[in-house]
Structure 1
Amino acid sequence: MTLLWGITILWAFSFSLIGAYLSGQVDDYIAVTSRMLLALIIFLPFWRPIAWRKALVMMATGAIEIGLTYLFLYHSYHYLSVPELLLFTIFTPIYVSLFADLFARRWPKQLWAPAILAVAGAAMIRWTDLSENYWKGFALIQAANACFAFGQVWYRHQSQHNPLPHRTRFAWFFMGATLITGSAMLALADWHKLPVTPLQQGVLLWLGVVTSGLGYLGWSYGSTKVNAQQLAVMNNMLIPAGILVNVVFWQGQIHDWPRLALGCVCMLLALWLCRQPTTTTAPQRTK
């Protein structure tokens, strides 16, 4: 759980970095593919040939969990305001719980209460008025949420019987993510919006190597060490963390501190409800 908290804090900074230095200045598809390519580069030294079925599974996991997630996410910006987009990401814990139940072949029971409580807490923090024409954007962001949740649970499920070190798996993981985002970039990118300034390049380097590369490695490894309830709830802890980082480091404004506090209490309560030890037996090999 400590590792997931650390990655949550790390990812909380990325929203402000993207909003301040990349959004509207660097093409979305170029930015996303750059991040995936940089992450792939740091894992290439750990690449080694594996059975083609395992290779395809890991590439598919990366393509879904990161590649498709980002493609749906960035496309949803054409239909949603930023507050709407953030609001609609609160459903991710529900998808995590759903896929965990499907992979475990069980009827949903205890998993749903913490996930729904986490969604309620995030909704208190991020609730805002909705525009009239948001259904298409809503569908896109739910597709992003579902892809991210499915990838997390699928990776966690694979870890029960995959002896490969995480660093080797992630070489294949980011190959899949780079392949799908790179294809989208070639088809849809605006090549007039390249990262031309040292600041933009530095931010992309940080986001690619640290936030995407090391961040997703840490999150995926951490997901194998907690139960599905805890993983579901932790998906929404990024919302209050991102708000606090924006306030402290980028002078953002919070107009309703009581609502923020109440939402955080709900999510912490959700974590308390799912405090029982993990039921997943993951490989204990040193990575």
Structure 2
Amino acid sequence: MKLLIATTLIWSFSFSIIGNVISSAVDSWSLAFYRSLLGFIFFLPWIKKSKISKYQFKLMPIGALQIGLMYIFYLSAFNFTTVPRVLLFTTTTPLYIAIADSFVTKKFRSSIYFLAFFSMLGALLIRTTYFDQDDLVGFLFIQCANICFALGQILYKTHKMKNNDDTDIYSDFAFFFFGALLVSCGGLLISPYSLPLSLGIIDVIAILWLGIIATGLGYFMWNRGAVVVSSSTLAVTNNLVIPLGLFVEVLFFSNNAHLELLVIGTCIIIASIVSSLKIDTN
């Protein structure tokens, strides 16, 4: 659980950095490539040719789905809508995790759906706003991203629990990120934009943060944390980034927020996490 919370704190800055700091010269396809590439390079030194296993190769399609494909949808949404609305549109992730868990494990657990809806309610209370046609396009992109991320989390969790062998976990994530890198390379090939190579210092610093810290370290910690909690706890914890991300947006980028609703919604999300942890204990 500590790993999930630590990762959430890191990710709470990512939304605002993408929406407010990185210049328009860096398109979503290129940013997805840079983030996947830096994540792969971060773990590349741990690969040992003599210890490569089939288990590690199976991590590649999981990384391709959870990060590679998800990034293309997620980052494209910022071209159509604002940071607060992107955060709002991610509220459905717990529901997709519940559905993915039922699909992968072939078990229906009513508690995970109840807690997922409870967490979604808390997240929806935080932000009420009007939408236009561009926001609808952004919403659809984020829903595709949410589905990829949710299914990727459950697939990694079940794959790791079934194959909890002695492979080096750092080496594992080199394969995980290589799968993501393959998808982002494919995205570049069909992208109407060319890869920006001449970047300002602010863009470089932001991309390094997003690639090494938020992507490389962040997804390593998140997936490691996902293995040791229940799917219910994993589902509801996904929405904790929403109030924290909005807090960062308000604090550093002067966006308005309904503080009363922010507090109430945050309390509901935290209550859903605590309830899930108590159910796990019992």
Q: Same fold (TM over 0.5)?
A: yes
| Coordinate RMSD, CA, aligned | 2.1
- Deviation per residue, 1:132-174 (Å, 9 max, x gap): 4655543332111010001111111111132123211101001
Match of 1:276 among 267, 275, 278: 278
Counterpart-to-counterpart distance in 1, 2:221 and 2:20: 25
- In structure 1, what is the equivalent of residue 87 of structure 2? 86
Match of 1:179 among 143, 165, 182: 182
Counterpart-to-counterpart distance in 2, 1:157 and 1:197: 42
Q: Which moves more between the two structures, 78-87 or 219-228?
A: 78-87
**TM-fit CA distance, 1:73:** 1.7
Identity %: 33
- The yes-or-no answer on 1:40 pairing with 2:43 is no
Q: Which moves more between the two structures, 93-102 or 133-142?
A: 133-142
**TM-fit CA distance, 1:56:** 3.8
SS in 1 for 2:278: coil
SS in 2 for 1:274: helix
Gaps of 5+ in 1: 280-287
From the superposition, tell whether residues 78 and 38 of structure 1 become closer, same or farther in structure 2 (CA, over 3 Å). Answer: closer
From the superposition, tell whether residues 252 and 195 of structure 1 become closer, same or farther in structure 2 (CA, over 3 Å). Answer: farther
Counterpart-to-counterpart distance in 1, 2:149 and 2:125: 22
- In structure 2, what is the equivalent of residue 114 of structure 1? 115
TM-score, length-scaled by structure 2: 0.90
Q: Counting helix residues as a fraction of each chain, which structure ranks higher?
A: 2
- In structure 2, what is the equivalent of residue 144 of structure 1? 145
From the superposition, tell whether residues 232 and 86 of structure 1 become closer, same or farther in structure 2 (CA, over 3 Å). Answer: same
Aligned residues: 277
Counterpart-to-counterpart distance in 2, 1:253 and 1:75: 21
Counterpart-to-counterpart distance in 2, 1:265 and 1:6: 18
SS in 1 for 2:248: helix
- The yes-or-no answer on 1:165 pairing with 2:168 is yes
- In structure 2, what is the equivalent of residue 226 of structure 1? 229
- In structure 2, what is the equivalent of residue 283 of structure 1? none
**TM-fit CA distance, 1:36:** 0.9
Instruction: Kindly provide the amino acid, as one letter, of the partner of residue 76 in structure 1.
Output: A
Counterpart-to-counterpart distance in 2, 1:203 and 1:129: 30
- The yes-or-no answer on 1:5 pairing with 2:8 is no
**TM-fit CA distance, 1:245:** 2.1
- In structure 2, what is the equivalent of residue 125 of structure 1? 126
**TM-fit CA distance, 1:48:** 3.1
SS in 2 for 1:275: helix
Match of 2:254 among 246, 252, 255: 252
Instruction: Kindly provide the amino acid, as one letter, of the partner of residue 216 in structure 2.
Output: G
Counterpart-to-counterpart distance in 2, 1:77 and 1:205: 19
From the superposition, tell whether residues 233 and 178 of structure 1 become closer, same or farther in structure 2 (CA, over 3 Å). Answer: same
Instruction: Kindly provide the amino acid, as one letter, of the partner of residue 88 in structure 1.
Output: F
